[in-house]
């Protein structure tokens, strides 16, 4: 079973990488770009075949390792 995790900084947490990307886009002539937030995508190939069990397993992975839940939020896609 495949899983995809999207990890983003929570609202209100400063995103210096996003600010750097926004600045660089402006420097390259891309106007009209507002706030930029940068995150990460993690693709997992799981042996689990039960959808609910797979989601629970990935949620635990996120809470223990893949995301810093103090400053980041995550969304899970199971497919």
Which CATH number belongs to the domain containing residue 54 in this structure? 3.30.1280.10
The residue segments making up the domain with residue 65 are 2-78
Q: How many domains does the chain have?
A: 1
DSSP type of residue 10: P
H runs (alpha helix) in the chain: 16-27, 51-61
Which pLDDT value is given to residue 57?
98
Question: What radius of gyration, in Å, describes the C-alpha atoms of the chain?
Answer: 16
pLDDT in tens, 50-59: 999 999 999 9
Question: Coil, helix or strand for 13?
Answer: coil
pTM confidence score: 0.89
Which residues make Cβ contacts (< 8 Å) with residue 8, sequence separation at least 6?
Answer: 37, 39, 72, 73, 74
pLDDT by position in tens, the chain (length 79): 999 999 999 999 999 999 999 999 999 999 999 999 999 999 999 999 999 999 999 999 999 999 999 999 999 999 9
């Amino acid at each position: 079973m495949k899983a995809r995790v999207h990890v983003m900084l929570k609202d209100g947490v400063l995103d210096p990488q996003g600010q750097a990307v926004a600045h660089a886009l402006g420097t390259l002539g891309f106007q009209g770009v507002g706030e930029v937030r940068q995150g990460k995508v993690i693709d997992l190939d799981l042996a689990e075949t039960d959808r609910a069990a797979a989601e629970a397993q990935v949620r635990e992975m996120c809470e223990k390792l893949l995301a810093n839940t103090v400053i980041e939020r995550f969304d899970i896609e199971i497919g």
